[in-house]
């Protein structure tokens, strides 16, 4: 015990402040007021997805969203999430889409196929529609991991997805307000010249 105390006295920790970047960053705020959100939630593994849904709603409400500005859309399983998310994004009504599901690894390759398609589909929908999509789909090895990520030991991924959606909705708005050389008239947009086909 005395040896440990002596070692503690010898070690002096020097805590340095985190350096500020040379360039100011554009960031989205955690303020959901005045914004509309859609939550797509899978019914499959509902004992997990319902906990994620409740926490996602809590995250939106805590950051200022109004109940009337939150739409919940239920789909059969995780595989159906991307199509529903894309359909909602294309309406132009929502500032962000929150995707919630739970996939548990089984004894077959089915899990890997579904995980890859759901991930790809959600990402593709966000990129092609320009509407932020928050990924709240759990991909777990077993039920214990899913329970931990739905509010037991590792926080709640539904709440985290809601915060990501709020931040990205605000970031999109902040970036669109940034002045550009094209808008200031200092540069002209370039267009690609097509090469003649042979």
Catalytic residues: 110
Distance of alpha carbon 18 from alpha carbon 5, whole angstroms = 29
Are the C-beta atoms of 56 and 161 separated by less than 8 Å?
Answer: yes
Collapse the DSSP code of 19 into the 3-class scheme (helix H, G, I; strand E, B; otherwise coil) and give the result.
Answer: coil
Q: What are φ and ψ of residue 161, in 5° steps?
A: -65, -40
Distance of alpha carbon 23 from alpha carbon 69, whole angstroms = 35
Beta-bridge partner residues of 38? 71, 97
Torsion of CA 167, 112, 78, 33, to 10 degrees: 0
The Cα-based distances of 142 to 10, 42, 104, 138 in angstroms read 45, 18, 6, 11
CA 103 to the chain's CA centroid = 17
The Cα-based distances of 167 to 174, 184, 198 in angstroms read 10, 27, 48
Are the C-beta atoms of 100 and 82 separated by less than 8 Å?
Answer: no
């Amino acid at each position: 015990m005395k040896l440990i105390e002596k070692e503690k006295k010898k070690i002096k920790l020097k805590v340095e402040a985190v350096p500020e970047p040379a360039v100011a960053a554009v960031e989205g705020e955690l303020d959901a007021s005045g914004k509309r959100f859609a939550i797509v939630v899978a019914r499959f593994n509902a004992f997990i997805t319902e906990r994620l849904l409740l926490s996602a709603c809590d995250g939106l409400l805590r950051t200022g969203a109004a109940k009337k500005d939150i739409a919940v859309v239920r789909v059969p399983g995780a595989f159906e999430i991307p199509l529903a998310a894309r359909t909602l994004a294309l309406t132009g009504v929502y500032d962000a889409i929150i995707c919630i599901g739970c996939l548990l690894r089984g004894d077959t390759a089915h899990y890997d196929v579904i995980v890859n398609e759901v991930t790809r589909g959600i990402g593709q929908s966000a990129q092609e529609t320009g509407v932020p999509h928050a990924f709240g789909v759990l991909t777990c090895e077993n039920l214990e991991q899913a329970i931990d990520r739905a509010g037991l030991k590792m926080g709640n991924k539904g709440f985290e997805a809601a915060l990501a959606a709020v931040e990205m909705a605000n970031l999109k708005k902040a970036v669109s307000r940034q002045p550009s050389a094209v808008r200031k008239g200092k540069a002209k947009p370039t267009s690609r010249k097509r090469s003649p086909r042979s």
